[in-house]
Amino acid sequence: MVQVAEITELDGRTGCGNASGIVRLDADLGISYLDAAAADLIGMPVESLLGRRLDEVADLSELSTLMKSGTVFNNQALQVGKRRLACDFLPSMESDQLVGGILSVLRLLPEQLSDPSIDLKALLQSGSTSLDLNYDGIVIVDREGVVVMVNQAFADILDTTPHAIIGKHVSEAYPNSQSSKLPAVMESATPQIGITHYLNGKQVYASLYPIVKDGQVIGGVGKILFKDIREITLIANRLQGASETRAAAGSVARKESMSRYDVNSIVGQSKKMQDLKESLLRVASKNSNILLLGESGTGKELFAHAIHAASNRRYAQFVKVNCAAIPEHLLESELFGYAEGAFTGARKGGQLGKFEQAHLGTIFLDEIGDMPLYMQAKMLRVLQERELTPLGSNAPKTVDVRVVAATNSNLEALVREGKFRQDLYYRLKVVTLCIPALRERKEDIRALSINFIQQFNEEFGLEVQGLSLEARDVVMHYDWPGNVRELRNVIESAFNVVTGPLILKDHLPEQLSRMLGDGNAGIPHDIGPYLRARLGSKPLPAIVEEFEKLLVEAAIQFCNGNKLQAADLLGISRQWLYKKLQKKHHDDASDH
């Protein structure tokens, strides 16, 4: 949200002092607050403005588009009846979503005379430059080179906020960037279309235009077409089919060379998984190598796909290699390819290795801990020098590949034992993501089960609704040594024997039930004597209520205090569970 300090800074920047007013808007541009100064400048009482939409009071025209897209602008004319007001706008964002904004009403403008500032409404209406405010990175400066409008897409390229850019001279607004060419464009009054430029260390593709009014240049607009120049090459390669690469690769299956999943494919809302997915999205946009650690079956390959899909390499190939599945004598030719005649039976014309197939994209090296030492030395050269030499060739080739490696082994222990090169280990673990075992995030089991049931319903042509309470009890208590992969296999196994709308305990593999244990703390093991002892001692409703309390206590203990999970286990709503707990606490207090 916009802080008070930001509002004060905005007022100070425009030099309007105490004469300016503040209007707070919600996401629909409804007026949720305004001060007396703003009401006075608008010319209407505060009480008549509160709750109304701004576009009901003022003629926003194209300014509405800017405000709803979260664009920051300065010193723009707003027409309210016969009054023309100079205004600034600063959007309020929460979790990258627009939730409103602050409109600073600065001063009255002359009714007839034109204001010297850039008329953004006229610029947008003219269509002289096609501006997509929701995608294109856009910045507009006045004739002096001061930024008067900037949107979130442009600020994202600089890893900053529009508020940090607005009001600054264009030569000072871009940290770690090439000097802006907008001043030269305004000076020559000549647009520059499709130029490359460096912003925040990224090579972008942009177009720059002078803004002309009554024959005079009054400003300039910059439009970022591609946030990373490599996207153009990658898209072109994809559209052209990379015919030479495909012909040489030959055996590469399409399904293995493209990413099929993204971060939304990762099921799990536990705190651990939410934090992990946030970390994934942060590091994916960079180009550093990533090491995925986790037990077998936790979904390391799914994370590798998601990293590729969220990166600026997503238009290129995603190539996966299981280092443990390829015979040692074939691994070098698989990774680095071979030249024609390199060995008996070699393909005519040779063959590209996995690294060349992944050029400009991502290579996923699964089970990296099983790579033999001699191959580790060759791998290190590829990572350090970005070049490789195919088997049977003397001509090195340059490759641009991001490496995502994964292992369920303890690489540090392998390094100490001399089974894994320390230098390669540090090259691979620039960024490390540790994927938790399923037993460490049991609150995700329900969502995962539902997801698998939906998948198998479609595959088997069934309409299974879910797990019975007894089956769910087994699934929630089991430790899942095989992790998510084992859970998926268990659900698939149940689909082969299920006959009704629910998966029952009897449909689950026997070993799950054997592992269940008692899990019923607070409930007598032999239920028969317990019930017989109460028959006649209390009315039936009282016995049922007592037993219900025991079940609620057992469910909460079984779920380690997680009340949402306990309610789900009991098949009741969380509100009903809280109601039962409140009654229990009240009864316990009465007993004392």
| DSSP class per residue in 97-133 | EEEEEEEEEEEEE-SSSPPSS--HHHHHHHTSS---T
What percentage of the chain has pLDDT greater than the value 70?
Answer: 77
Confidence (pLDDT) at 86? 85
φ/ψ (deg, to 5) at 527:
-70, -25
Confidence (pLDDT) at 352? 87
More confident residue, 284 or 3: 284
Q: Which of these, 363, 358, 334, lies nearest to 245 by C-alpha position?
A: 358
What is the average per-residue pLDDT within 88-110? 80
More confident residue, 251 or 443: 443
Residue 12 pLDDT level (bands cut at 50, 70, 90): very low
Confidence (pLDDT) at 487? 96
Domain residue ranges of the chain, discontinuous segments joined by + = 20-107, 116-231, 263-434, 438-514, 537-588
Q: Which two tokens stand for residue 92?
A: 């309020």
φ/ψ (deg, to 5) at 188:
-90, -10
Residue 436 pLDDT level (bands cut at 50, 70, 90): very high
The segment with the largest mean pLDDT, out of 61-75, 224-238, 423-437, 549-563, is 423-437
Following CA atoms 231, 234, 236, 241 in sequence, which dihedral angle do they give, to the nearest 10 degrees? Answer: -160
Strand order in the sheet with 362-366: 318-322, 362-366, 402-407, 290-293, 431-434
Residue 143 pLDDT level (bands cut at 50, 70, 90): confident
- pTM beyond 0.85: the answer is no
Residue 8 DSSP SS3:
helix
Confidence (pLDDT) at 124? 56
Confidence (pLDDT) at 437? 94
Range scoring the smallest mean pLDDT among 117-131, 380-394, 400-414: 117-131
116-231 and 263-434 have identical folds:
no
The CATH class for the domain spanning 20-107 reads alpha beta
CATH topology of domain 263-434: Rossmann fold (3.40.50)
What is the average per-residue pLDDT within 408-420? 93
Confidence (pLDDT) at 516? 54
CATH topology of domain 438-514: Helicase, Ruva Protein; domain 3 (1.10.8)
> For residue range 274-324, what is the model confidence (pLDDT) as tens digits?
899 989 988 988 889 999 999 999 999 999 999 998 888 887 889 999 998
Q: Which residue type is seen at 215?
A: G
The CATH class for the domain spanning 116-231 reads alpha beta
Residue 95 pLDDT level (bands cut at 50, 70, 90): low
Output the 3-class SS for 167-235.
CCEHHHHCCCCCCCCHHHHHHHCCCEEEEEEEECCEEEEEEEEEEEECCEEEEEEEEEEECCCHHHHHH
> For residue range 81-91, what is the model confidence (pLDDT) as tens digits?
888 888 888 88
Q: Residue 456 pLDDT more than 90?
A: yes
Confidence (pLDDT) at 67? 82
The segment with the largest mean pLDDT, out of 109-113, 198-202, 528-532, is 198-202
- Give the contacts of 591 (CB within 8 A, at least 6 positions apart): none
**Mean pLDDT of all residues in the chain?**
79
What is the secondary structure of 423-442 as a DSSP string?
HHHHHHTTEEEEPPPGGG-G
Confidence (pLDDT) at 586? 57
Tokens 């268990």: give the residue.
Answer: 490
Out of 1.20.1050, 1.10.10, 3.30.70, 3.30.300, select the CATH number for domain 537-588: 1.10.10
> For residue range 187-229, what is the model confidence (pLDDT) as tens digits?
888 888 777 777 776 677 788 888 877 778 888 888 887 655 5
Residue 6 pLDDT level (bands cut at 50, 70, 90): very low
- Helix/strand/coil percent split, the chain, to 5: 45, 20, 35
